[in-house]
Structure 1
Amino acid sequence: MLSAVETISIFQKQTEPKVFASGEVIFEEGQPGDVMYGVLEGEVKISVNGKVIETIKAGDVFGTGALIGINNRTYTATAKTDCKLAFLDEQRFLFAVQETPMFALEVMRSYSQRLSNLEHQL
């Protein structure tokens, strides 16, 4: 299992982070997606149909469905606080998985846990 620090280090190696102000929408439910995100700093709230189901903190990943065949976002992600996010497209994700195979397991665990949380909230 990778620690939050190890997960963040994978994202920090990949690309320039994006900064979002508190309250800013990162992506909306139903939008097409082609990147996943890693929280470097701050918090992101995840909501479905306007109901907050989870808060994601530094070291966590979200938006992974976009890289495993889910064409449209299944939830809305909004910056809960000012935050800095790194992102991976499919090519960079595959490179990260080749370099650190445990990263793939962490992404799958995160996705599975988020799906489980979503099912219990609805």
Structure 2
Amino acid sequence: MLALDTMRSLADRGEVIALEAGQVLFKAGDVGESMYGILEGSIRLTWLDDLGHEGHEDIPCGHVFGAGALVMEGHQRLGTATATVDSRLIEMNRDKFLFAVQESPMFAIQLLASVDERLRDLKQAEL
């Protein structure tokens, strides 16, 4: 997968975050300035809907999450991100993301495809 290859290449030059199973990366309401790519493991995003019911999404290796932080000033996280297993992530601030897109324009297309796939999966789960 191109996106995972690009993230691994960036990880060789950047900061990798290691999380143990059950460890929280961020909580709903936290202000975020970075998105994260999953190099190994998986992350569960949990949130409360308008009725107070908990929802969740399990995000596998090769996908990204938290992209809203790159496009909105003072972005508040909508959910809590918790490692479901021991995981390794790359943190991408806006500059690192733009560098990745410049180096590999297909990275942006792969990320859009990933987000679309995840949204479709969530929509199917609602039905």
Kept in 2, the 8 Å contact 1:4–1:58? The answer is no
- Larger deviation, residues 103-112 vs 89-98: 103-112
Pair 1:6 & 2:12 matched:
no
In 1, Cα distance between equivalents of 2:46 and 2:125: 10
Pair member with larger Rg: 2
Q: Distance in 2 between matches of 1:107 and 1:61?
A: 7
The separation in 2 between residues aligned to 1:17 and 1:48, in whole angstroms, is: 25
Q: Compared with structure 1, are the counterparts of its residues 68 and 110 closer, same or farther at alpha carbon in structure 2 (3 Å cutoff)? A: farther
Q: C-alpha displacement at 1:14, in angstroms?
A: 4.3
CA distance in 1, matches of 2:68, 2:33: 9
Asked if 1:67 is matched to 2:66, the reply is: no
The answer for the alignment partner of 2:46 in structure 1 is: 47
Residue 7 (structure 1) shift:
4.1
Q: What's the counterpart of residue 18 of structure 1? A: 17
Q: Say which of 84, 89, 99 aligns to 2:93.
A: 89
TM-superposed deviation, 1:115: 4.3
Offset of residue 97 of structure 1: 0.5
Matched AA of 2:100: A
Shift of 1:5: 4.0
Instruction: Give the secondary-structure state (helix, strand or coil) at the position aligned to 1:32.
Output: coil
Report the CA distance between 1:10 and its aligned residue: 4.0
- 1:107 maps to which residue? 111
Indicate conservation of the 8 Å contact 1:12/1:86, yes or no: yes
**Aligned partner letter, 1:88:** M
Q: Give the TM-score taking structure 1 as reference length.
A: 0.81
- The superposition leaves residues 58-83 of structure 1 with CA deviations (integer Å, 9 ceiling, x where unpaired) of 21111111112271112211000111
- The 2-side partners of 1:14 and 1:102 are apart by 20
Aligned length: 121
Gaps of 5+ in 2: none
Task: State the Cα RMSD in Å.
Answer: 2.4
